[in-house]
Amino acid sequence: MLQISPSTSAGFFHFLFKLVHNIYKFVIGKPGEFWIVGVIATIIGFCTSPLYPILNKFIPRKWLFIGGQVCMSLAYLIFIFTRSNVLMMDFGLVLFNINFAQLVTVLTLTDAIEYGQLKSGQRNEAVVLAVRPMIDKLTGAISNGLVGYIAIAAGMTGSATAADMTGHDIRTFDSMAFYIPLALAVLSIFVFLFKVKLSEEVHAEVVEELKDKLAQGELTSEATTSSTGLKEETIYAPTDGELVAMKEVVDRDGQPFPGKGFAIKPTSDKLYAPFDGKINFTFGTRHAFGITSDKGLEMIIHIGVGTVNMRGEGFNAHYNDGQIVKKGQLLFDFDRELIRQSGYEDWVITFFAQPHNIKATSGFTPGKLIKHGDKVVTVEFK
């Protein structure tokens, strides 16, 4: 799963740090007061990333992105027009570092994994997850190149001091370090506002549609294997509770939950592997994952009804995608109380990802109270 860390915005911090250093040394001639820049950048930089998930509970990420870009734009204006006031410069530095642009970009790309799976039937997580370190390295490289170029173009090199700067040097520095980035920051607001459509709500709809298609067997999977004969697999209870027939499960839109399988009204907040197998994938919303048995039976385990809207809050996985797991191995903790407080059902729904391959089931008893690891149903499939 994607982790949020302060390094996600390292490029921004490095770019600003160098530019403000040049302002203090070459423009306002107060290099001795520059130390505060490092303190502010470090404090704010390490606060913004942990603050993001808290704010995102109440504010959509599109508006967090826009708010951050507005703060950045105001910071540029402060650097341009009030640079002689050190306190205002420090305030501008705070505003500049309140920025979630890279976080939002990476998280939006991560949400695109499910969109790609919906459209193509394949998940390309490796490509998307590789984007994160690439962005970090790319922004660092670009910031180094830009700062060096700006310093040379404005004559801010070697033994030069503020007294050596001409009006032309200052205008060159302002244009390249502030006016152009300011214009790009404003442009990014309009691009993100009108062109980026994959919001949290849209992603939830994509995930629900993907779930429906998987349950109805409309999507193939990389884990699918061809077989000419029938195989048999025993499915064991992934959690404690009461067995419920699939036809009794109602989806969030009031319609029957699609597909073949069964549900459990849980009395436990822990979920275990229903057989020996391999974890195929986990939805970005962390409320559902795919698992394939050693014999090739593909299943989706879906925690809750409507829990896609919780955006992963209250779900804690104990595995990595692609991991080999054994029957009865702990896979998830989920907060049943939080699910119910959020207005959703906490049922654990287990359904087949390739229902057309299911030929017969036996041994299932609706209403039966079971413990995790108890036998639920035997499946014949091809």
Point out the residues that are catalytic.
Answer: 302
How far apart (Å, rounded) are the C-alpha atoms in residues 210 and 121?
A: 9
Long-range contacts: 40-43, Cβ < 8 Å, 24+?
40/90, 40/93, 40/94, 40/97, 41/13, 41/16, 41/17, 41/93, 41/97
* Residue 257: both structure tokens together: 């939950």
Q: How far is CA 295 from CA 223, 226, 319, 330, 380, in A?
A: 11, 11, 20, 20, 11
Tell me the DSSP string of 129-163.
Answer: HHHHHHHHHHHHHHHHHHHHHHHHHTT--TT--GG
Q: How far is CA 47 from CA 42, 207, 338, in A?
A: 9, 31, 26
For residue 317, give the DSSP letter: E
How far apart (Å, rounded) are the C-alpha atoms in residues 36 and 135?
A: 28
Rg for the chain, CA atoms, rounded = 27
Only one residue has tokens 């949290």, namely 200
How far apart (Å, rounded) are the C-alpha atoms in residues 25 and 21?
A: 6
For residue 258, give the DSSP letter: P
Helix axes 86-97, 10-22, angle to 10 degrees: 160
How far apart (Å, rounded) are the C-alpha atoms in residues 203 and 111?
A: 6
